[in-house]
Structure 1
């Protein structure tokens, strides 16, 4: 997994050398005086090149081919058809004038030519008319006649000679004989345009080696900015030849593997349970790779949108499934990796790390929807404040502040809200459990808990009491209260197999253990752990919840039946009357063991007083400590004492103890 993730991330990284200086237009040069390390050309800016291209496009020429045979053909047709259109009743003088007018109209129409179709070109566009690929004449597109303009030209000439009453005759005549003689030569026009574009120079001079490019503190603008951009481009492309490619690749691999190795070492030292679980390690590496992939795609598309990528989803997800410390550590590692991809890496990393810290500090109880919205609002505010501070530091004022960047931060905050459906998807894909799932499992109307309430009502009531005690205890010492509550609700579901063999479910006064040997009774009692695990697996309960079923009695002894058997047989094996274990291995499972024992035994208290309850809680929990039940749990003596105080206070409330007033 380590090697695969390293290869995938390095594959996404740029394979050229990275210019070691960060700079922005209009901001001071922060590094020492920079001299040209080699000769290089000063490249024109994108705006300059774009302006030159636009100018060439505006001044480009349109080429049309002319058919010289058309005009001669039109003249012959006109000579032949004129007499058939105009009657002999017209006087000879008028007929001559009409004939001459028609000739003038033809000359006017074919002065430059008639277009074969309508083209949507600028009327001022220059036009070259070609005759057999040879330039014949030059004009503007506005002088070329379209089919729709023929009637207007006829009217203009007829008005001039007061022959407007003959318009219908002329239009009918020309409609039959007029033909286009100009056709647009698109291929020739495109070749001519490309030829002009190819003449554009992308450089505007050169810089000699050892020339001072910029001094420390100077503002990066104008010609200095162009020189720096040219040097950066040259440095990242031409300087790094094929011979350097493998070396650059090796260097990136070292950096990525070093970062991921730190994460693995952290897991091994402080989160061994996660380190030993391949699914969880895969989940962590997958999310880191996913963030690198998304950021790389955005940078390649347009680097100004990098702040839209919701990097803070990462600590949110890791906190939901693991803990805050792991979430922050993984977030920092990811941001360090992204520093090799994004522009202005220092500013980017500062903003993202601060935002990650705020995410960890503000997000609590993610299953509460309001908390997520509040946290996302705080994260967005931190982004805006930090960006504003950086901008003022670089610019010296806030006058030219780009307000669109604030919109990007708001979009990033909205995208962070996607963490809720993402957590649900991850739960299904990786089989992990978050607080959101635990909240669903804590619903007492769920199928399994309703079955427990129907089959074993006493056990269900006991589980509710234990859940309340355990939740209060977990809150006291900062453990996962939601997890321990769910574990408490399901810890005794195994009693549904033989409910009548447990005292809390015996309502008839008949005890079935009276007909069994002590060993058989102990076996039925201890089997509720195994039965509970089987029922939990059939109902697809998460492993984190099943852990509470396995450990809530640890390796303790069924003391009542053990002592009963010992009274009969002094050589009794203690293992025959012990639970299979294992012992609790977390704060939450240790809390459940304490609360379960105290709640169950509290039913035997007669005439409880504060002193009795104090001694009672002390004896039960101290006995568990003496038996070594908490040796595998990361719980301290101080935390155990805090739990004792909570249990004493809760039991006093349950039994409604009051101080005794003097009579």
Structure 2
């Protein structure tokens, strides 16, 4: 292999991380808006914290949303409304009148006027109403509202009050007949009109809307001009009213203006530089505080993929409609990272993602504050994600925090509750509901990246699982020992704030390798026959040590996750099989201790360190005869002190204080197991 190839393979891990950051930064910058960013943060209702601001050139002042809304309402109330006149309906109504008249006015009756006069009166009366028009439904118009009535190609203006509503037609006809010479025939006329009335004009919605749209589009969005060199706002002035509109106008002018190619390239370079800085900070944090994640490219890719996903999702929403930015469930990000790693990494990743979004979201300070607070609440209120009730409670608390913080910002900027955008509260609730999608998302990620979360750990802790059931059947003593260690470890983890579910599962599987030859371990020797009596100390030690390697092979065969296999690999660290080592030394003073040592590695986390302590203490406690509380306390101190002297916890992220707390829990639990009470001096 050439020197170049050797160098490539040597540095390919760093090369992968470099490419990962470059690709993530490329995607993020690609979706960012490429206009320049206004260099001032405009905080409505807050004092202007920057220097006095002057206009570099003339610019128009944008009208406020209230001003535009008021103009739009005024135009809507005065815009032309078009109705279409239908002559065919009149002809149909009059034809039906002729048909019904003879039924209501039979020839057998005598009349004060001729029948033809009666017929002509009724028809003329009907024609009078239909001349101005009859509409089916009564719209909400102000009294005296003018409309335009289309009769073929002719359009005439008229007062809508002159038009009759179809439901009012019978009463109007009755009133007209009652005041005429033919009032005695009122009931007969109404029989004629009863089922023959129809509306003959209807709203021309298309033409009316087109006219309204043209008038609305003609509204000027600006008023007044800020001349070049004039003051826009002084330092310390409140950002509200006319000052706010001037600043918003300046910002829009700055961000919407066409920029030259050279300036565009500089803006692009600035975005790339800032995004790279943020991503590098995340990488350095992981390398410093989570080296196990840094060294695992799959886990590292998972973290950056989630940051990229949330940034791109938010960017798409902003490009579509910025007002829906709070509907994006950003709190999914810390939940996901916490579920697979820990709360500290989850919160830091969440903050980095929000910093990246601060370039493009409106009201970036408000957005940053709300999302950071919500992220902290998310981390603090979901201690155990596998408990579904915790997630629902947390979502409720996150939504409440969003609403309270948003409400606080509104009353600061507006000086009251007027104009409160109630739909925004609905978006916070929508974001909360979307956060519940974290459960199926965790399952998807487990399959995609081969990771394991607390939800999967809960499934693995089921003692009816295939592998644990086999352990219970083939090595019942080891199974019982594993249950005891799991209980001890879980209690210790809870005491120091470690991952109790993870350490419990690790404890249940840590001795799974003893299934291969269960009777070679004393806890499974029910007959009293010890197979090691016929073996040399070195052979016996090899059998004992091999249960770690056998356990790793079994765990991989049954597809146990790496987080669980780590407990199998480290639960003895590099300790020595003391009994067989001293037995060998009785025969051979030059016996090599390496032949009697476990291969390691050392525990590298709080959880793996807890398991080593609990496993050693529980296993050795079986050798105690007539145990007392004092004896157990000294026994626990002795075992853990020896492990510390051997530097077994050198790589574990655990403090002396936490070790003291663990010892206290182990003593208490062992006393409970043996039903002992504290001995008091007489």
TM over 0.5: yes
Q: Equivalent of 2:472, from 453, 459, 463?
A: 453
Deviates more, 1:461-470 or 1:324-333: 461-470
- Find the residue that maps to 2:615 and give its secondary structure: helix
Distance 2:75 2:539 in 1: 99
Distance 1:555 1:212 in 2: 74
Distance 2:400 2:190 in 1: 75
Distance 1:96 1:319 in 2: 93
CA gap of 1:197–1:409, structure 2 versus 1, over 3 A, is: closer
CA gap of 1:248–1:567, structure 2 versus 1, over 3 A, is: same
Counterpart of 2:341?
A: 322
Aligned: 1:230 with 2:249: yes
Distance 2:57 2:223 in 1: 17
Aligned: 1:487 with 2:506: yes
Question: Do the aligned residues in 1 keep the contact of 2:58 with 2:227 (CA within 8 Å)?
Answer: yes
Question: Do the aligned residues in 1 keep the contact of 2:85 with 2:133 (CA within 8 Å)?
Answer: no
Question: Do the aligned residues in 2 keep the contact of 1:335 with 1:349 (CA within 8 Å)?
Answer: yes
Deviates more, 1:527-536 or 1:497-506: 527-536
Counterpart of 1:283?
A: 302
Give the deviation of 1:326 after TM superposition: 1.8
Deviations 1:151-191 (A, max 9, x none): 8887677656534577899899999x999998977666566
CA gap of 1:560–1:55, structure 2 versus 1, over 3 A, is: closer
CA gap of 1:153–1:517, structure 2 versus 1, over 3 A, is: closer
- Find the residue that maps to 1:204 and give its secondary structure: strand
Distance 1:626 1:102 in 2: 117
TM-score by length of 1: 0.77
Counterpart of 1:62?
A: 82
Query: Pairwise mapping of residues 88-237 of structure 1 onto structure 2 (< 5 A)?
Result: 101=121, 105=125, 108=128, 112=131, 118=136, 125-128=145-148, 133=153, 137-143=156-162, 162-163=181-182, 192-193=211-212, 195-237=214-256
Counterpart of 1:259?
A: 278
Distance 2:172 2:639 in 1: 114
Deviations 1:90-113 (A, max 9, x none): 999957866875785587367x46
Distance 1:129 1:651 in 2: 96
Query: Pairwise mapping of residues 429-468 of structure 1 onto structure 2 (< 5 A)?
Result: 429-468=448-487
Give the deviation of 1:645 after TM superposition: 6.7
- Find the residue that maps to 1:460 and give its secondary structure: helix
Q: Equivalent of 2:287, from 264, 268, 271?
A: 268
Aligned residues: 650
Give the deviation of 1:282 after TM superposition: 2.6
Aligned: 1:31 with 2:50: yes
Counterpart of 2:13?
A: none
Counterpart of 2:607?
A: 588
Counterpart of 1:509?
A: 528
CA gap of 1:67–1:195, structure 2 versus 1, over 3 A, is: farther
Q: Equivalent of 1:338, from 335, 348, 357?
A: 357
Counterpart of 2:368?
A: 349
Question: Do the aligned residues in 1 keep the contact of 2:410 with 2:417 (CA within 8 Å)?
Answer: no
Question: Do the aligned residues in 1 keep the contact of 2:410 with 2:420 (CA within 8 Å)?
Answer: no
Question: Do the aligned residues in 2 keep the contact of 1:62 with 1:125 (CA within 8 Å)?
Answer: no
Distance 1:330 1:181 in 2: 67
Distance 1:409 1:188 in 2: 39
Deviates more, 1:354-363 or 1:151-160: 151-160
Distance 2:326 2:662 in 1: 45
- Find the residue that maps to 2:50 and give its secondary structure: coil
Give the deviation of 1:259 after TM superposition: 0.7
Distance 1:554 1:506 in 2: 25
Counterpart of 2:6?
A: none
Deviations 1:233-278 (A, max 9, x none): 2222125467644443332222222111110111122212101222
Distance 1:334 1:242 in 2: 29
Question: Do the aligned residues in 2 keep the contact of 1:493 with 1:532 (CA within 8 Å)?
Answer: yes
Q: Equivalent of 2:59, from 15, 40, 46?
A: 40
Consecutive unaligned residues in structure 2, runs of 5 or more = 1-19
Distance 1:58 1:632 in 2: 76
CA gap of 1:39–1:462, structure 2 versus 1, over 3 A, is: same
Deviations 1:113-148 (A, max 9, x none): 667x8576567553445677455x432345457899
Counterpart of 2:564?
A: 545
Distance 1:139 1:96 in 2: 33
Give the deviation of 1:336 after TM superposition: 1.6
Distance 2:166 2:664 in 1: 101
Give the deviation of 1:482 after TM superposition: 3.9
Distance 1:607 1:156 in 2: 113
Distance 2:507 2:200 in 1: 94
Give the deviation of 1:88 after TM superposition: 14
Q: Equivalent of 1:5, from 20, 24, 27?
A: 24
CA RMSD between the two structures = 5.1
